[in-house]
Amino acid sequence: MTGRYWNPILETLPREELRALQLRKFKRIFKWAYENSKFHRALYDQAGVVPEDIRSFEDIHALPKVEKSMMRDIQRKNPFPYGDALCVPLEEVTEFRQTSGTTGQPVYQPDTWQDWEWWAESWCFILWAQGYRPTDRVFIPFGYNVFVAFWAGHYGAEKLGCEVVPGGVLDTKARILKIQELKATAMMATPTYVLGMADTARNKMGIDPASLSINKLTCAGEPGAGIPTTKKRIEEAWGAKVFDHAGATEIGAWSFECEDQPHGMHVNEGLFLVEIEDLETGKIIEEPGRRGKMIITALDRQAQPCVRFDSKDIIEWDPDPCSCGRTFRLIKGGVVGRSDDITKVKGVLLAPSAIEEVVRGIRGLGDEFEVVVDKVGDVDCIALKVELVPGTESLREEIEGQLVDQLRNKTNLRYNLSFHEYETLPRYEVKAKRFKDLRKAH
């Protein structure tokens, strides 16, 4: 196990063969869902399609999508608690997980042991591509619970041969001490949490996180590691390389940034089929450079299949292949937002990640910020709260000038800015809720 790839055959398969494999696997999972899930059967019957109708990618593009709301509707029904998308007898289910429910009622996700093996295998592609090897000692500061989060990362790291330290219910200080004591070399967590950990180490424990032995960090759960200024902050704080990953409970671990850090992520096209849909026309975008939302199929997941799931993640294909030699396509800049987060303010489309990129790029501003969109009369207004790091009070005017200019350039909007004392804005343990839109409440 000294090579560059976890699966040298699949990861370097010529594009044509890879596409042929995807088509074959799609037909198989579609037939599986059609024959074993009442939910999928009804969806496809309504559209008048049967498995034999699928001969090309064009046929796939025309199939009905599955929305999260549809999955929510079948939950807590028979067979309890998953409902009728379940494709296996209940006794074959070995894993229960649920979505975080940030956008509504959580969706329950069953997996068989074979599915769980598939989760671990998909994480091996990610970790190997990010330089994890059997010599690594991996610390996982995650509250092992009903959310899938880094569970599969744990099993993947074990499968790869790493030594895994579960950071479970330890608090942040205890986790830092454990990393220090054991000389852990790698870690996986959300960008929000690794920044918070660095802050605790520095300001509450007098430990410079860069002096610890962590040399690589896998970040997921939020776009941070794909936002260049946030990534730089984390890399500088920890003295480590930071790699992006995106996955989801209902989908699987579908993407990863490789060691070459190409400003984007590979889609694991051996295990997933990604289609990008134009937000306005609904047509599938084949060419690079145009953004749309991701429609994704997990090609091998069986208990509760994921077939043409509308993920709402905004992505675009990168025109260039990666220097690492993988033939899996890159999505440029990672997941750049979610279609339900992108909102119109004063008629201008705003993606919250654009604000993060500006705030995290300015020296003197703290990591935390808060954005509140509201209406005063009929007019939208947008407030941005930021923190100054201790010792930068005298530079406030200069910082404010930079912030105003860069926000205008990047988002075409004016903000009501307010500066707050360090550590007075809310801190988040796992996923942050920094963007609030109060207009709907009125």
Residues that bind Zn ion (CB under 5 A): 258, 260, 322, 324, 326
Q: Where are the beta strands (DSSP E) in 214-335?
A: 216-219, 241-248, 252-256, 264-267, 272-277, 292-298, 309-315, 330-332
- In whole angstroms, the minimum distance from the beta carbon of 328 to Zn ion comes to 8
**Both structure tokens of 389:** 């790091």
Place of tokens 């995807």: 22
Q: Which is nearer to Zn ion, 228 or 325 (CB)?
A: 325
Taking the complex as a whole, how short is the minimal distance between the CB of residue 321 and Zn ion, in angstroms? 8
- Nearest CB to Zn ion, comparing residues 29 and 322: 322
> Residue 199 is encoded by which pair of tokens?
């802050």
Q: Taking the mean position of all CA atoms in its chain, how far away is CA 252? A: 10
Nearest distance, CB of residue 326 and Zn ion, angstroms: 5
Decide: residue 171, CB within 10 A, 0-12 exposed, 13-18 middle, 19+ buried. exposed
The closest alpha carbon to 189, from 158, 223, 220, belongs to 220
Minimum CB distance to Zn ion, residue 322 (Å):
3
Residue 244 or 275 with smaller CB distance to Zn ion: 244
At its nearest, how many Å lie between Zn ion and the CB of residue 332? Answer: 13
Question: Given the complex with Zn ion, which of 260 and 320 has the nearer CB atom?
Answer: 260
Shorter beta-carbon distance to Zn ion: residue 261 or 392? 261
What's the Cα-to-Cα distance from 12 to each of 8, 198, 216, 293, 306, rounded to whole Å? 6, 37, 24, 26, 25
Rounded to the nearest 5 percent, the helix, strand and coil shares of the chain are 35, 25, 40
- In the complex with Zn ion, the residue whose CB is nearer, 137 or 326, is 326
Q: CB of 256: closest distance to Zn ion in angstroms?
A: 9
| Cα distance between the two ends of the chain | 59
